Amino acid sequence: MHIRAYMRASTDEQDAQRAKGALQEFARDHGVRVAAWYWENESGASLTRPELFRLLDDCEAGDVLLLEQVDRLSRLNEADWLKLRADIEARGVLIVAQDLPTSWTQLKRDESGEFMRRMMGAVNGMLLDMLAAVARKDYEDRRRRQAEGIAKAKAAGAYRGRAVDTAKRAAIRQALDKGMPWQWIQTNLECSRATIASVSKELAKQQRCNGGTAAL
């Protein structure tokens, strides 16, 4: 059994590795060791998460996907959550989360019999569904409140939008110009694939414009 820790943050401004210390301590307290770490800055409401699926591809049946909280894995709608959960179950991967104490028993599977493993698996499945639903509702509530706040600010003429990190976008552009892989850029510049895609689109547009100017 290998334990693979997954950490996620929603935006480039957040630290996806923030939970590493807590997860290391959790593993030590349970007498296990984390074999590999995976982190990314992507929305939990999207299935477009390269590092999560790299983790799953690296797993063998019986390996553990370790989380700080279930919402680090999913803020997905019901259909996408069921799809992700079915994929994880088909691979034989076990989910252990710090905020789901019943899942901790899966770190000591050799000490429990077949009956208890099946019972705890059923309990964990139910609780995972519940926590995933709560995480989705929290996501939708925050999005609604944010939209209401923006609408109110716009009506008052006070909305300015999110400030653009021009320095980071310039660094991403330089990396793209040098032909660096997107995964390298995401990891080393601590940015999301959405941001890389945006800069790439801007770069391609400018190159087309420059090409058209040169033709004249």
Q: Which residues pair with 5 in a beta bridge?
A: 37, 66
At residue 208, what are phi and psi to the nearest 5 degrees?
Answer: -65, -40
Amino acid at 12: D
Whole-number Å distance between alpha carbons of 38 and 201: 27
Those residues whose C-beta lies under 8 Å from the C-beta of residue 4, and which sit 6 or more positions away, are: 34, 35, 36, 37, 38, 55, 58, 59, 63, 64, 65, 66
**10 catalytic, yes or no?**
yes
10, 112, 198, 200: which one is catalytic?
A: 10
| E strands, the chain, in order | 3-9, 34-41, 64-67, 94-97
Structure tokens at 24: 């290391």
Q: Which residues pair with 119 in a beta bridge?
A: none
Whole-number Å distance between alpha carbons of 93 and 87: 9
Those residues whose C-beta lies under 8 Å from the C-beta of residue 40, and which sit 6 or more positions away, are: 7, 8, 9, 16, 49, 50, 51, 52, 186, 192
Q: Which residues pair with 205 in a beta bridge?
A: none
Give me the active site residues, please: 10
